[in-house]
Structure 1
């Protein structure tokens, strides 16, 4: 008997078809990956298994968990199954955790709700599962709160909550999307180890084939609510049959060709920059300690050059970015853009700041949803002493929207009318509209599907040729940095530990930390054609 069996599952919400005849089987101890772009139906399939569907949802077909039909179970019976027989790990750990409850209370909550054991034993179980996921109580007391942990540590707490009662089935919905490569590798190894140790089945949802290539036993590819291809992992990777699967594979390894960089004229000069933050006092009258987020960082970015910055979460990338933008003062060193300081007299130099723009990670959260696109992309005009008006303003909007592959008619629309990739194109148009000397891309493609990411990277290459872009590209995705930059810097604990030409650093890393980052990055195996027997 299969652990989970989905037969001809169809789902509609208020008459709109979401899933169409989905079939999927998971055996005990097996990892099945469901992959596809946003909107393909991956997460809705998982939510159907958990019966966490919105109002207006109508389902048909069959979902059997350990032989028991789920679709017809009343809510009281489903509540008994959730957390006990089926556990779920959500994509964003900070929103999945309660910020006002300790991690110990949150892990114990599942145990106590199901009355699986008394409170003292529940606390022992919480310690046990937190230790199993790499958070031993001697280093991570149960009294800690989510905000006191890193992103990877918070994800481990969410996993501990999901496995507290040793469920038969674990559902992991994009559990590593927002994590850096080394933390992602640790979480994937942890999930695989839990499956091997507990014999549970796992449904792994992801948009990236490279993430599950070495992990999943079976891969199911979905598109527009339908399964377009499904096979054991080695068979699927060696002999993809559906064009959509081949497209996902190609997008995961997408390469772009950048134009040759211009001359060696310095544009951005960062010299011995130090940024410290005060730590809480350990005693009432004790002097507060200092945390050094950026430790004597120096580099030069030349005009027309594309520079990458990589490193794990907490290494100081974002702090350095804020300092370059003049959003934070530095305790030592200086930052010059075209020979002028970005911070003068303890105040940001607005004359310099208006010559820089930034593209953020979240293409939806970086826009005001109440404003139309024409207002959004012209926000940088407020920095100008004489912003364009009338026909000149409309022409500039049309030019930028056309440059990023959109239509001038899109200027009258709201941001919710666009897909994630289109929103990021609008963010790039906003960054370009004042023709800045420098653009900072802060994890600008990490939230996108692999196919949309490939389109944005192609767009950047085209814009480099058309506008001679100079940019600093900050990312934890090494494959993206490798294809979209001329030089790369590797940052660890606030220091630049290695820098050089991108291909040289990736091909022949000199620092052990760089080697560890490259080794941790997921990659697809080279396809070998299946040999007929």
Structure 2
């Protein structure tokens, strides 16, 4: 091979007359990592789908896609099927949807081998075991008979990577492979991709909306906007000499700091006192005493009126279990949770007087909305918690006030969720939480799936709401940079216990606990350089 491994020249894609990609040109060499970055809708995933030959039938395509000297545009669907998995591997963003829940991990990795090679099932199983071990899932700890639901998010992503590299493809495409992962798992997956690229000699197209993720990984970065590559250069050169305004805007948004109001010196609003939560495990035999797993262990902290508190930790550390207890969705096994002195859970059931004072904003607003309901109906769902919900004009006024508060128009009340962008839907989710004027809002990974510029807008919105409404909030996230920009205090959770807590700036700059230091070290960081020489 004399030319690059992948050579994309003047690629244009249109769907029913609408231009999706415009004259995209990109090259990837053997052993090279090229990052394709930009906001949602910029054309990153469409470029990947065009490369792997998975565009819809109705599209109009022009330009050249050459892999290993072979023009992919001249191949039939049958020939492309042979290339997918064998010459080109694909790692998707959400491993749980990319894996078959009723097939074992061994069977799914072996399936790729069986489809593309003339080998026996036994030989494919041996190869699958070798590949899974290559990605950090040794058979003694992760038998081939395991199912996807028995693995963590990071382990499932390793299975997807094993499927993609089982036949040692020449090109690997990774589409947002670490967006939903905590920082330590993300660092492990990124290091695995780097190692595979170097040792296997394959090219890697890394698709992401976060410049920090690829600042230390990619050899080159291509920035996409509105279906075009507006700037591309070697990574260090791009950060030192970025010339396009859009690239500069992405860089600034990636290090955005929200303008938080002064923290109030107020009495405690939420008190979590020595809380523990146990889950029953299966008995070893019918007459054995039932064992229990303690997911939350003696957690104690306060959140004051108007205070912004972050909660960080790896997947499985107990954050979600603790959150369910705070929201009154689960009882605690020991200890007590109170809001303004009233128990969140009492007499074996949630306390409705407290529940109406605590609202939650989820990670995926589209998944938490009924797509058949209008915005007006969706954001008024919390009214069922009120003893006397507003009706008529008072209801319309409450809807208009909530939508205006989050930067939307009262006219949006008649629309449906699909009519809004991801950032606008998250604003709707915040309006739903705000409409009954709670004292505390729990933000559960509320910005992790958003583009960096949209994320910056939502963080500013949260700061403004805290300023105008005196809201307290618990901000749960695996993105330490976001936690630093939007909280006054931070709690670090490991194995069900709070191992460190304090003022956010102090904990981030001078972490005491080894686990906190490990989180800080694993978090991706932008280089201290920029288009203005900073």
TM-score using structure 1 length: 0.98
Matched with 1:39 is 41
Matched with 2:347 is 345
Report the Cα offset of residue 282 of structure 1: 3.2
The answer to whether the 8 A contact 1:270-1:334 is kept is: yes
The answer to whether the 8 A contact 1:218-1:232 is kept is: yes
Report the Cα offset of residue 460 of structure 1: 0.8
After superposition, the CA RMSD in angstroms is: 1.1
Secondary structure, aligned partner of 1:29:
coil
Report the Cα offset of residue 115 of structure 1: 2.1
Matched with 1:314 is 316
Report the Cα offset of residue 528 of structure 1: 6.1
Report the Cα offset of residue 287 of structure 1: 3.1
The answer to whether the 8 A contact 1:169-1:200 is kept is: yes
Matched with 2:270 is 268
Q: 1:406/1:211 Cα in 2 relative to 1: closer, same or farther (>3 Å)?
A: same
Q: For residues 221-236 of structure 1, what are the structure 2 equivalents within 5 Å?
A: 221-236=223-238
The one-character-per-residue Cα deviations of 1:266-304 (angstroms, maximum 9, x if unpaired) are 110110111011122333443332111110101111111
Report the Cα offset of residue 483 of structure 1: 0.9
The one-character-per-residue Cα deviations of 1:292-343 (angstroms, maximum 9, x if unpaired) are 1110101111111111100000000010000011100111000001100011
Report the Cα offset of residue 261 of structure 1: 1.6
Q: Say whether residues 1:328 and 2:368 are aligned partners.
A: no
Matched with 1:502 is 504
2:118 & 2:300 partners in 1: Cα distance? 56
The one-character-per-residue Cα deviations of 1:26-80 (angstroms, maximum 9, x if unpaired) are 0000000000000000001001011111231221111000010111210110111
Matched with 1:218 is 220
1:62 & 1:257 partners in 2: Cα distance? 47
Secondary structure, aligned partner of 2:73:
coil
| Count of residues in Structure 1 that have an aligned counterpart in Structure 2 | 531
Secondary structure, aligned partner of 1:71:
helix
TM-score using structure 2 length: 0.98
The answer to whether the 8 A contact 1:220-1:231 is kept is: yes
Matched with 1:490 is 492
2:532 & 2:87 partners in 1: Cα distance? 38
Report the Cα offset of residue 259 of structure 1: 0.7
Matched with 2:285 is 283
The one-character-per-residue Cα deviations of 1:226-257 (angstroms, maximum 9, x if unpaired) are 11001111110111010000000001100012
1:235 & 1:288 partners in 2: Cα distance? 60
Secondary structure, aligned partner of 2:366:
coil
1:245 & 1:530 partners in 2: Cα distance? 12
Q: For residues 57-76 of structure 1, what are the structure 2 equivalents within 5 Å?
A: 57-76=59-78
Secondary structure, aligned partner of 2:186:
helix
Matched with 1:144 is 146
2:513 to 491, 504, 511: 511
Q: For residues 286-435 of structure 1, what are the structure 2 equivalents within 5 Å?
A: 286-435=288-437
Gaps of 5+ in 2: none
Gaps of 5+ in 1: none
2:335 & 2:202 partners in 1: Cα distance? 54
The answer to whether the 8 A contact 1:235-1:530 is kept is: no
1:126 & 1:98 partners in 2: Cα distance? 16
2:211 to 209, 212, 221: 209
Matched with 2:445 is 443
The one-character-per-residue Cα deviations of 1:443-501 (angstroms, maximum 9, x if unpaired) are 00001011100000011111111111111111111011101011000000000000000
Residue range with higher mean Cα deviation, 373-382 or 154-163: 373-382
